[in-house]
Amino acid sequence: MSCSPRAAVSSRPHLTSLMYSLPVRRLKEILSHVVPDVTLGPVEQLPSTQLPRLYALSMSDDRKLLLSFAPSLAVRLLRQESTILSSEATLVYFIAGSGRRSEMEGSPGSEIEGPSTPVVANLQRLIPKLLKHSSNNREMAYPYSIFQNTKGAPLSTLSIYLSLSERRTVDKQLGTMARGLASLTSPSGAFGTVSRVLPDPFTPVSPTAPPMTGSKSWAEAFNVLLEGILRDGEDMAVLLPYDVVRSHYQRLSWRLEAVTLPRLVVLDAGSATNVMVERRSEDGESVATGEGVKVTGLRSWSQGVFGDPLLCNLFDDPSEGFLEGWRKSGEDIIEDAESIEVTVAGES
């Protein structure tokens, strides 16, 4: 259900191009408030298949930050891409807060049963620390987010160096991560994308603002996702059998009613260009051909949905390592048992 990758940008753009695409002077002023007593050094645009423009920020104290900048107005966004930056910031904020909620829910005398502390603690290590987010165009002409940089490199650039055992280790860690995400459920009980279910913590709530528009069922939420894709195609005159697709949904949507609890899933959590991995040598230094491998997080957390965990692309062709990590992290939580049986059978 996630959007198609866009063309990667140049890893080392010309300085003139960088100056025109990024308001460096304004960025320095913003960073002076975000990280006081530290100044901005070299800025490098990163190659990425993600929609946001990514910049590596080198600070004077050797700290590395990541600036996620909204796509240019020249890029035509699909419906689900219109809130990509705010959705990512909102989801990271939500997951970060889940650790505190888990501690409170697990405290003596609490009657609320929340996700287990080890599962949530693992997620806290994987999400980047959000230092600043702005959803408006007033500060730098485009919405933006500033994160502490996630260590490592995209799995797509390291996969050829990984041994079979290392790749299994990566897959197992991804299974643990996916299971941890699925342990988090919609606070309101509504289904749908993060932008439709979670309130934006960075935007003041207006008394006249419309209520959140999450769906009451997974079938309804899935139809919203599907219709968004189909209407984008119709708007762009893409030749597809739209009526046939819609009729198939009407015929099979009853299967989606098996999902009654909206669990968190990041749709592209298994994409090699999105998974960040770090390899380490025995002395702990990060090297391209060292021993040991660790998933350090995701490059983008923007494709969050509260619904059926099976929608994650990790279940498209699940490896034994992924299933091991998924099953080891807790009891079975898949409500559509028939679908998971078909998924696993296809993998074996």
What confidence tier does 15 reach under pLDDT thresholds 50, 70, 90?
Answer: very low
Min mean pLDDT across 2-6, 236-240, 338-342 is at: 2-6
Answer yes or no: is pLDDT of 2 > 80.
no
Q: What is the pLDDT of residue 98?
A: 84
Q: How confident is the model over 224-239, as pLDDT tens digits?
A: 999 999 999 999 999 9
Confidence of residue 291 (pLDDT cuts 50, 70, 90): low
Q: 222 is written with which tokens?
A: 């899935």
**How far is 157 from 161, CA to CA, in rounded Å?**
9
User: Looking at the predicted structure, is the pLDDT value of residue 300 above 90?
Assistant: yes
pLDDT at 289 over 80: no
Q: In this predicted structure, what is the pLDDT of residue 284? A: 52
- The whole-number average pLDDT for the span 130-144 is 92
- The domain spans of the chain are 15-347
**Average pLDDT estimate for 221-225:** 97
- Render pLDDT for 63-76 as a digit per residue (tens, 0 to 9): 999 999 999 888 88
| Strands across the sheet containing 304-307 | 192-193, 304-307, 263-266
Does 101 score more than 90 pLDDT? no
Using pLDDT thresholds of 50, 70 and 90, give the confidence band for residue 121: confident
Q: What is the mean pLDDT of the chain?
A: 85
Asked if residue 315 has pLDDT above 70, the reply is yes
What confidence score (pLDDT) does residue 280 get? 76
pLDDT bucket at 114, cuts 50 / 70 / 90 = low
Say whether pLDDT at 9 is over 50: no
Output the pLDDT for position 324.
Answer: 95
Where residue 338 falls among pLDDT bands split at 50, 70, 90? confident
Average pLDDT over residues 256-270: 97
* Cα–chain center distance at 280: 25
Provide the pLDDT for residue 343. 53
d(CA 59, CA 31): 10
What percentage of the chain exceeds 70 in pLDDT? 81
Q: What is the pLDDT of residue 122?
A: 85
Is the pLDDT score of 17 beyond 60?
no
SS3 222: helix
Percent with pLDDT over 90 in the chain: 68
Residues 6+ apart with CB under 8 A from 265: 178, 181, 182, 304, 305, 306, 307, 308, 309, 311, 312
Contact criterion met (CB below 8 Å) for 292 and 280: yes
